[in-house]
Each structure stands twice: as structure tokens, then as C-alpha cells.
Amino acid sequence: MNILAIGAHPDDIEVMCAGTLAKYAAQGHKVFLATATNGNIGSAHHTMEEIGRIRKAEAAKSAAILGAEYVCLDYDDEMFYEDRSVRLAFINLIRYCKADVILTHYPSDYNPDHELTSKIVNDVAVMIPIAHLKTEAKPYDQIPSIFYFEPSSGMRFVPTDYVDITDFYETKMRMLDCMQSQRQWMADNYTALGGDLDRFFDTIRITSEYRGMQAGVKYAEGFVRALDAFRGKMTERVLP
């Protein structure tokens, strides 16, 4: 299958579903990582242009660990809005990847870019086969299955599906380690608000262990399946 993970920012995918993507890749599926924005406000030390380039390079390095392709739609971080051109860009991305399965943000999240990315993915999925919606990439005859990955806080999130990532947890952390610019960003901003930076990054392990406990394994990632009568594979297991 072709697997497409769409995050709002570079590092979202690594935090939320990198273990699952690593497992897909190990099983021989083709994996794509994409972000709606380039993360160009994620630094107090670089210009927007500089940090945008840095974060895209970090995301590409992370994807390369899986032998995956990284695609950035290049919208501005936190100034990302929906219009016709944005919808068509998302349709073109999905068509380019010929995605069978899409992993993206949960519709209820703390960040507006996360929520809008989720909304657009869900809205356009049924439009992928429609020939009158013209994009550079051609339509293909399938509506992808969509799974929402967990918000960073886990609030109001009850998984419908789990993926055992025990054998791929270290790969997930290697991918996350590519995002060095965000460690600096968090050091500058999260700690200024009274947060514990080490504790923040430790939540990734804690969440993986918690979902693993629920699933009966050491480490797991949880997902909520998007329910839609027009989507296929509803009776099949398409997560790895």
C-alpha cells in the first residue's frame, strides 16, 4: 500500500505516528511524510526563511531514516487558512502519493493548524477520484482510509485501533532526534512558561507505554478511525 502521514508542522508526525510509519516501511509499504506548513516561526534565533529551510531539512532527514519521501506544502506556520487553492493542493498531494491510507491529526486539538489540517484531509478525501477537480497529479479510483493520530496531550482521545511499535520505538526516537531546532524552540518557550523541558519530551515515552499497556504490548501508538460510509476497507485491518 501507499501510506501518507500528513502533519501540520515538521515534527508532528515524528511525535505522533513515526513508530507506525516505521512498521509500515519495514513491511514493504511505500511511505510518504508531508507537512502543510514549513514551521517558519519555530525559532527565536533565525529568520523565518532560515528556520523554514532548517525545519524542512530536518523533516527530510527524518523521512530518509525510513527510505520515505518528504513533501512540504510550504504554507506559513500559524498563518495557514483554507481556500480553494489550499484544498486543491491537498488533493494534489494525496493524488501524487496515491494514498491507500492517510494518518493525520485528530479533529479536536490544541493547535489551529493541526485542526485545519485534519479538517481539510477529511473533507477532500472523497474528492480524490473526481475528474473535474483538476490538479497536476491525476485522480485515482480510491477514497483513502483515514486514521487520526493522538494529540500531544492525549486529552479527549480514545483510540479505536492500536499499533504495536515495540520493535520500532527506537526508530521513532531517532526520527524525532532529527528535529534539533525544536529542542531549542522548546527550551526558549516551554520553559519560559514554567514547563519542564525533559518532562515534555518524556511524555512521548509515557504515552507510548500507556497505549502499550492498553494494547497488551510494551509500546504502542493509538488511532481513531475516521468513519465514513463512502470509504473502503472498513472491514479490513489496514494498520500494520
Record the pTM.
0.94
Cell 512498521 identifies what position?
23
* Sheet of 220-225, strand order: 69-75, 30-37, 2-7, 101-105, 145-149, 220-225, 161-164
Longest CA–CA separation in the chain, Å:
52
Q: Which regions of the chain are under pLDDT 70?
A: 189-200, 228-234
Q: CA 239: distance to chain centroid?
A: 15
User: How far apart (Å, rounded) are the C-alpha atoms in residues 230 and 189?
Assistant: 43
CA atoms within 13 A on the CB side of 218: 7
What are the contacts of 57-63 at 24+ separation with CB within 8 A? 58/10, 58/11, 58/178, 58/179, 58/180, 58/181, 59/10, 59/11, 59/13, 59/33, 59/35, 59/178, 59/179, 61/178, 62/13, 62/14, 62/18, 62/33, 62/175, 62/176, 62/178, 62/179, 63/31, 63/33
Report residue 89: phi and psi, to 5°.
Answer: -65, -40
**Which residues, other chains included, contact 65 with Cβ-Cβ below 8 Å and sequence gap of 6+?**
22, 171, 174, 175, 178
Task: Give yes or no for a contact between 118 and 104, defined as CB atoms under 8 angstroms apart.
Answer: yes
> What pLDDT does residue 232 have?
59
> What pLDDT does residue 98 have?
98
192: its cell numbers:
519560559
91: its cell numbers:
488533493
Domains of the chain: 2-225 (3.40.50.10320)
Q: How confident is the model over 147-182, as pLDDT tens digits? A: 999 998 788 899 999 999 999 999 999 999 999 888
> What pLDDT does residue 156 have?
85
- How many Cβ atoms sit within 10 Å of the Cβ of residue 206? 11
User: How far apart (Å, rounded) are the C-alpha atoms in residues 190 and 200?
Assistant: 9
User: How far apart (Å, rounded) are the C-alpha atoms in residues 228 and 26?
Assistant: 29
Cell 499497556 identifies what position?
213
